[in-house]
A and B are shown apart, each in its own frame.
Chain A
């Protein structure tokens, strides 16, 4: 059986990749995808721990996280569509109407 540490490491890497994507990519959609990646990394951590502890309750929690992630994606996409209609761009650099 694969030890739990390996899962955690993979999850940590995924999370880090997500964070880097969030901070560096300029396209709102890709940032959104990176955030989903972070959520999935968290989910993987959860499942890995749950499995290591033999605790099935946490599969339910993973379900919840997936559902929330889906809802978040839905809202996020709607917002991206909305901003594209208004501004004709999804580039985050250009969304600086409000500042200071």
Chain B
């Protein structure tokens, strides 16, 4: 579909807003800064909706394209072994990127709006909005890019903004360590992304998504790279490393909880709704590449499932509300990877959308609570806030129901789609994986879903129900937030409640899964392994029961605050025994069978992954190397110029010495091929050796025959004697008159 739609304006508008706010924002009033920031995103949102409407009116495969400027952006002529490269600074809007654009601009706008009130007091108001706009622009480039390099621009851009915004309140030295951790971990991910990109390019000579999807490129990606691994396998795994970094999956998840040091709306936008889903988007975008080797898909799904479970176990034990939400985000991202890893792309992306709404809402709600309680984060010091903050409370409840997966809230449909996809995941093409992999992933996901419901409602009950557990001073000051903050909460709550109906399961009605119909025909091959309606009903029922069980458990434990026994005594003395018994019973069971194992599991994983891998090897290991080199430099770079000259001399001497010895020393080692008494000796020699002054080889067979002298490295010899003989090869490099020899024993039968 060729139209003149100004697609490039979608990212450029927020970028322009960023430029204005960062450069001259100090001279504009706060209202002006907020207006510029919100309007630029709102205009991008309007354009995004309009573009999506254009797509909606056309056939599924329709796309919109645009370029920032004509001509090639990256250009390289053909060179030995690799073809020419032409990449435009192009944008591509198809139905997949349209979904992303709508989520980013809509949720982004709401968060901008919320920030105008939340950041009111901050003295760096204009900078904050500048970065937020910059982030939005970069994220839009990421999803709209029509080739890997353009996406990479956005990928690096959002990473940079994230780094900048984590450190927005960068006064504390403790944050520096968190920042460093985030940085190192993301570099590991980017390393994978870059290598994957180079590998794909070297195989296909293109990096544009549309060209990569072509038959020719896919064939090229099938080529074996080494051992049994095809280029697609290696490149897919490398790109997935990139995705685990950006999207906080095992083992690179550790930066995300630390990133909560930034302002709360930033956590909502970047570390919940948009940036961290970039990895999921990238896999959906390049699904044809990942599908080439199902092994890669299985890796993605397994990592996703493990992350979902693992992060959920940690979420249970956390006290600061933002940490609970952070681990919850890691866990939910794991669900999305289960989706894209089991080829249920529409389910993965659908969960991305619903999650953007309810998780952004949860963060904004948490921000609202912290705003009311003068920055208190610990849920065990809250309680009873339902009376003071009705809007926050009701919207928070909606989000919790959504994330727990209760019908008819959005999370129910998207999580169900993912679990259904995992259940029917077919690993038939992969002999190396057990056939029950899909079911295993399903059960892991189900356990994670149970814990999700539990820890979210634990937080909900502790915050809004029971008695307030902080000091009365704080309680007196607690208040509902201003409309600029509650309005986004309400809009997001409506989204979290209603969005699910866009993706109703086939079991309800075969034409009601609007989301699948929007996405699948356009971007993905038809889904495989659709389950029977009865299975789907069963899966839904199980999921609901599990979620309900989680909520019920949280209710029993936390509805009346953390010490319910005291409450029970006050309520009804006659029923004391029973209540206490029951309570203790549940508590005991829960403690010994759930909390302790989970806690130890979490502890082991935390120790293993975070402490050992990330902290010891990456963070401290790199610090150690830097320190070591620093000491070396400190010693050598002493300021004494004569040391510098000595280094020049030694460097020259080393070049001469190594070059002189190199040829002879690499020439002497040899291979022996033996057939009875006949041996063939091949010295390594040098295939492209100096033609004018060839190496002189001398072969001594150790059987009394005179040594064979020649200038070629291969010789044949027949032994007339038996037993162990010492075979020696001497090499002379006549240029330097340097000799080298190697010998070994052969046994003549």
**Which residues from chain A sit less than 8 Å from chain B, CB to CB?**
19, 22-24, 26, 31, 92-93, 95-100
Say which residue of A23, A96, A100 sits within 8 Å of B646 (CB atoms): A23
B172 CB-CB contact with A under 8 Å: no
**Smallest CB separation, B678 vs chain A (Å):** 49
A10 to B253 CA separation, bound complex (whole angstroms): 68
Which 3 pairs between the two chains have the least Cβ-Cβ distance?
A: A96-B639, A99-B639, A100-B634
Within 8 A of A (CB), among B637-678: 637-642, 645-646, 649
B633 A92 Cβ-Cβ under 8 A: no
Q: How far is the CB of B517 from chain A (nearest CB, A)?
A: 65
CB distance from A89 to the nearest CB of B (A): 13
Query: Given the complex, which residues of B lie within 8 Å of A92, measured CB to CB?
Result: 640-642
- Can you list 20 contacts pairing A with B, beta carbon distance less than 8 Å? A19-B649, A22-B645, A23-B642, A23-B645, A24-B642, A26-B642, A92-B640, A92-B641, A92-B642, A93-B640, A95-B639, A96-B638, A96-B639, A97-B639, A99-B634, A99-B637, A99-B638, A100-B633, A100-B634, A100-B639
Contact (Cβ within 8 A) A95 B646: no
Residues of B within 8 A of A (CB): 633-634, 637-642, 645-646, 649
Max count, chain B CB within 10 A of own CB: residue among A95, A98, A100: A100
C-alpha gap A95/B641 in the complex (Å): 8
Report A-chain residues with C-beta under 8 Å of the C-beta of B639. Answer: 95-100
A98 to B644, CA, bound (A): 13
- Within the assembled complex, what's the spacing in Å between the Cα atoms of A51 and B637? 43
Q: Which residues of A contact B637 (CB under 8 A)?
A: 99-100
Cα distance, A95 to B633, chains bound together (Å)? 18
CB distance from B222 to the nearest CB of A (A): 52
Determine the distance from Cα of A31 to Cα of B638 in the docked complex, in whole angstroms.
18
Contacts A19-B649, A23-B649 given; does A96 touch B640 at CB 8 Å:
yes
A83 to B637, CA, bound (A): 20
Residue in A22, A31, A95 whose Cβ sees the most chain B Cβ within 10 Å:
A22
C-alpha gap A98/B638 in the complex (Å): 8
Task: Note all chain A residues with C-beta closer than 8 A to B641.
Answer: 92, 95
CA–CA, A23 and B638, complex, Å? 15
| Residues of chain A lying within 8 A (CB to CB) of residue B649 | 19, 23
What separation, in Å, do the CA atoms of A22 and B640 have in the docked complex? Answer: 12
B633 — which chain A residues lie within 8 A by C-beta?
100
Tell me the nearest residue of chain B to A19, going by C-beta: B649
Q: Which residues of A contact B645 (CB under 8 A)?
A: 22-23
Q: How far is the CA of A100 from the CA of B637 in the complex (A)?
A: 5
Residues of A within 8 A of B646 (CB): 23
Contacts of A31 in B (CB 8 A): 642
Cβ distance B51 to chain A, nearest Cβ, rounded Å? 55
| Chain B: CB-nearest residue to A99 | B639
- A39 to B640, alpha carbons, bound, how many Å? 23
Tell me the bound Cα distance from A34 to B241 in angstroms: 57
B632 nearest CB across to chain A (Å): 11
CB-CB under 8 A from B640, the residues of chain A are 92-93, 96
A19 to B637, CA, bound (A): 20
Smallest beta-carbon distance A47→chain B, Å:
23
Q: How far is the CB of A29 from chain B (nearest CB, A)?
A: 14
User: How many angstroms from the CA of A95 to the CA of B645 in the assembled complex?
Assistant: 14
Nearest chain B CB to A33 CB, angstrom units: 15
CB distance from A72 to the nearest CB of B (A): 15
